């Protein structure tokens, strides 16, 4: 099965930021896809059920230079 999480992303101001955040999230082990919406300042991340810890997503976004808060 597939799970997804939505994270509120802080610090994005341009289209390149979107690409940076998407690449950072897609590099996390277990992530199948990540899609960022700049207008909404959100990232939607898809992964196999149980394959990813949300803390790893937050960490990857932070290393890319942005903040993130997982939505429940």
List all residues 6 or more positions away from 31 whose beta carbon is below 8 Å from its beta carbon. Answer: 25, 45, 46, 47, 51, 52, 57
For ligand 9UX, the closer CB: 14 or 39: 14
DSSP state of 57: H
Touching ligand 9UX, residues 2-41 (CB under 6 A): 13-14, 16-17
Give the pairing of strands 42-48 and 67-70: unpaired
Contact 65, 11 (CB under 8 A): yes
Closest CB 59 distance from ligand 9UX, rounded Å: 19
For ligand 9UX, the closer CB: 16 or 49: 16
For ligand 9UX, the closer CB: 13 or 49: 13
Chain residues binding ligand 9UX by CB under 6 A are: 13-14, 16-17
């Amino acid at each position: 099965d597939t799970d997804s999480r939505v994270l509120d992303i802080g610090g994005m101001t341009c289209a390149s930021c979107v690409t940076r955040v998407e690449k950072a999230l897609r590099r996390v082990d277990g992530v199948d896809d990540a899609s960022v919406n700049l207008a909404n300042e959100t990232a939607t991340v898809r992964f196999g059920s149980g394959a990813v810890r949300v803390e790893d997503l937050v960490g990857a976004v932070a290393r890319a230079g942005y903040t993130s808060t997982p939505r429940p």
